[in-house]
Amino acid sequence: MRTEEARPVRLKDYRPPDWLVETVELDVSLDSTATPVRAALTLRPNGSGAAPAPLVLDGDALNLRALKLDGAALPPEQFVATPDRLTIAQPPQRRFRLEIETVVDPSANTQLSGLYRSGAIYCTQCEAEGFRRITYFPDRPDVMAVYTTRIEAEKAEAPVLLANGNLVRSGDVPGTTRHFAVWHDPFPKPSYLFALVGGNLACVEDRFRTMSGREVTLRIYVEQGKERRCLYAMDALKRAMRWDETAFGREYDLDIFMIVAVSDFNMGAMENKGLNIFNDKYILASSETATDTDFERIEAVVAHEYFHNWTGNRITCRDWFQLCLKEGLTVFRDQEFSADQRSRAVERIGDVRGLRTHQFVEDAGPLAHPVRPAVYHEINNFYTATVYEKGAELVRMLRVLLGAENFRKGMDLYFSRHDGQAATVEQFVQCFADVSSTDLTQFMLWYSQAGTPEVVATGSYDARAKSYRLELAQSIPPTPGQPSKQPMVVPLAVSLVGREGRDLPLKLDDGRTVERGVLTLTKSVETFVFADVAEQPVASLNRGFSAPIKLSANLSADDLRFLAAHDADPFNRWQALQTLATRLLLDNTAASRASRPARHDPGLLDALGATLADGALEPAFVALALTLPGEAEIAREIGHDVDPDAVFAARAALRAAVGEYLAGPLFDHYRRLSESGPYRPDAASAGRRMLRNTCLDLLVATQQPEAISLAARQYQAADNMTDRMAALSALSLCDVPERAAALDDFYARYADDPLIVDKWLTLQATVPEPATLDRVRALTSHRAFSFANPNRVRALIHAFALANQKEFNRADGAGYDFIVETVLALDPKNPQLAARLVSALKNWRMLEPVRRERAEAALRRVATAPSLSPDVGDIVRRALAKD
């Protein structure tokens, strides 16, 4: 455990490694408390520096047992070993073999980084810097080596032994009750992609024939008895493998691809070469245990980790500053996969909602950082929405700017030019510049400037000249360390929509054509004049959310209702309704704070009603159109002096108003969408359930007895988890006797299934009532809860802090106090999880003065606590920093 404040690591200080590792032979003899690890490294000087280089290997809480150089024990005066470093001051300046023996205690590893036990299973998590908790190593992604791993264990305890690559041999250890397996991975990889697993696991097996005709064995390992719940994940894996061949020409490269599901995991999943390790939440699913959203997430996460085989593993990152190179790109790829598997419009809306809720909010606060940060203290804190989700938007913008064909060419060039390398963002972007002969220098600002660009669009029609003038002005708000910004390249997909709802031809008055409907804004202020515009149009801007910006346009409520009904771009149809709702919610939040009466907007209600009545629209789209912007998003729009109670009240009132106004059609749709026949998880069926449950939710928002009993009946009658959870979730927001009865029933039904009990914990944590905090506190002592399991902590405590804006931000500060206590208790055991939790306080400056003061005091209590981990220390220091 490192307790001192970590020194900052800066991108500009990058130096190539002095030493490279050609091969790693690991011999790991699994034991629950004392696992010896013997590592034999073949090292050679990188030849970069003129002076002889010392050898400095990273460690973290390591205990050196023995050290040999070229077969001979190294005398103690020739090296220094501390828990976090092994230094050989004068190693031979040639290729040599170093043998290192350490001992690790998997049972005591509560950080879940390095080698640890999840239940009775041994597993590893090495990204970002976990390998150094197993053995001393140059633990940086630009040191790529070929690994051979021998694992040994008690046969009874760990009949299954897995590592990266292909199985070379296995057998019993003569004269013992132990056995072994040797795995060899022929592809050089950085240490963060190393993995091993040992345990008593069941296995589901399938096969895949690649596009060149190679047979690959596919295996998913899970707890005994849960095999049936892996079938959807296996199906998703095969679809992902096929899709990567057709969409990107990428084929799988080993003889076997394995996934292991474990229950104690800090992240969602990890793309270790050939041996993905997953949080079981993203593998296990059946109609009785998982919701449609769970199925969708499983499909996306399985695909994401698989896609890393090319974007992350074959081509890895030179250093951790380039994290977006693998994550942003792979998120983009999994979003595209989901769009192709499901509905492109629905996927895009879902992705943008996620971006606004998480990334825009992050970008507006003290933890804002560029997609490629220039400095970090603790890399674990940069697995953020900015690196992942905004990183994906930057890749998408390249496609918008260059067109699909050049984009694919750029990707092909990237794969061929950098295969087997540790690459940088510059090298990635250069591939697109080369194939399209485009200068992308200004585009690189997207990687270095933090903050969400704000674009103001002012359009005006000149009926006499038949021209439409569009003025665009961009600005980027200051963010920590970046008080002023340069203008960026903003690709805006646009259309001028005519009276009939048709897109009018786009012709600029200077004779330029608008390629693929995209205007490219490159200056702070720019004006585009369209010629030959026959009629007064309504501008549809940033179609498909072509750039991740905050756009405000001079569109009237009538214009927005027109777009909601007619825009050919489904994203902007949805956006028009969101904009109308946001305007109303902002007004009514202000009204509530000033004790003024709320404004009513019958136009919005009619527009929502028209969307619901439009039989041509897909049900999932209609469901999203009927879903109001979330509280976090509204708070970010308000920006300062936010009163979460007022935001909640305005949103709850509007939900109820929609439910009341549209009660008739909502009931009709609810009845009409009832499914007959068995549950199927496909997108179309899921979309119908989603719309039906959205109707239910809006009806229940009215608190009418008829709606409450409808939800209670659905809860009881449901034959799948989606419908049961949706009914319970709608009920959970109402203070009615049916709620308690249903919650008790739910627990009684599923008490033995931790992943389902997580849903029960989350629902209770997100009830927007004053009693919730006490309830959450009490639940921390419930037998279903454990601070040692990240899924339980996230389901109860993170849900309270992140998804219950009203009760977390209680005016008396008790919500903050609870989070502070929890963070301080968690930090010594699992600093990554504690750091995630404390970042829930990141937007404290946005709050009204009473809450702001209490939130700041809470952060200061954490900051001054003794022995903080670097993870938590880094978050609170940045959250409190002045600039």
User: Which residues sit at the interface with Zn ion, rule CB under 5 A?
Assistant: 327, 330
Dihedral over Cα of 100, 104, 109, 114: its sign: positive
Q: How far apart are CB 327 and Zn ion at their closest, in Å?
A: 5
Quote the CA–CA distance of 22 and 779 in Å, as a whole number. 51
* The total number of residues written for the chain in this structure: 883
For Zn ion, the closer CB: 330 or 540 = 330
DSSP calls for 648-677: HHHHHHHHHHHHHHTHHHHHHHHHHT---S
Quote the CA–CA distance of 521 and 528 in Å, as a whole number. 10
Instruction: Classify residue 851 by its DSSP letter.
Output: H
Quote the CA–CA distance of 664 and 642 in Å, as a whole number. 35
For Zn ion, the closer CB: 30 or 303 = 303
Distance (Å) of CA 735 to CA 422, 639, 646, 700, 759: 56, 31, 19, 11, 19
Q: How far apart are CB 269 and Zn ion at their closest, in Å?
A: 8
Start-to-end CA span in the chain (Å): 30
Quote the CA–CA distance of 718 and 124 in Å, as a whole number. 39
Q: Considering only CA atoms, which of 715, 691, 696 is closest in space to residue 707?
A: 696
For Zn ion, the closer CB: 326 or 636 = 326
Own/partner contacts of 583-586, CB < 8 Å, gap of 24 or more, are: 583/557, 584/654, 585/628, 585/629, 585/634, 585/647, 585/650, 585/651, 585/654, 586/634, 586/637, 586/638
Q: How far apart are CB 335 and Zn ion at their closest, in Å?
A: 12
Quote the CA–CA distance of 232 and 225 in Å, as a whole number. 16
For Zn ion, the closer CB: 327 or 645 = 327
The neighbouring-strand residues paired with 161 are 198
Q: How far apart are CB 385 and Zn ion at their closest, in Å?
A: 13
For Zn ion, the closer CB: 274 or 644 = 274
| Active site annotation includes 305 | yes
Quote the CA–CA distance of 768 and 780 in Å, as a whole number. 18
State which amino acid sits at residue 474: Q
DSSP calls for 57-93: EE-SS--EEEEEETTEEPPGGG-EEETTEEEESS--S
Planar angle of CA 338, 342, 348, nearest 5 degrees: 65
Contacts with 719 (C-beta within 8 Å, 6 or more apart), sequence order: 287, 678, 679
**Would you say 808 and 820 are in contact if contact means Cβ atoms under 8 Å apart?**
no
State which amino acid sits at residue 6: A
For Zn ion, the closer CB: 301 or 541 = 301
Burial class, 477, CB count within 10 angstroms (exposed 0-12 / middle 13-18 / buried 19+)? middle
For Zn ion, the closer CB: 272 or 693 = 272
CA contacts within 13 A on the Cβ side of 649: 17
Quote the CA–CA distance of 210 and 218 in Å, as a whole number. 12
For Zn ion, the closer CB: 127 or 559 = 127
For Zn ion, the closer CB: 296 or 327 = 327
Give Dmax over CA atoms of the chain in angstroms: 97
For Zn ion, the closer CB: 317 or 833 = 317
* Residue 277: its H or E element: strand 275-279
Q: Which of 223, 305, 362, 807 is catalytic?
A: 305
For Zn ion, the closer CB: 387 or 435 = 387
Quote the CA–CA distance of 59 and 38 in Å, as a whole number. 14
Question: Looking up tokens 């909640």, which residue turns up?
Answer: 648
For Zn ion, the closer CB: 194 or 661 = 194
Q: How far apart are CB 383 and Zn ion at their closest, in Å?
A: 9
Q: Considering only CA atoms, which of 40, 190, 26 is closest in space to residue 100?
A: 40
Q: How far apart are CB 319 and Zn ion at their closest, in Å?
A: 17
Quote the CA–CA distance of 251 and 244 in Å, as a whole number. 7
State which amino acid sits at residue 232: Y
The residues annotated with a catalytic role in the active site are 305
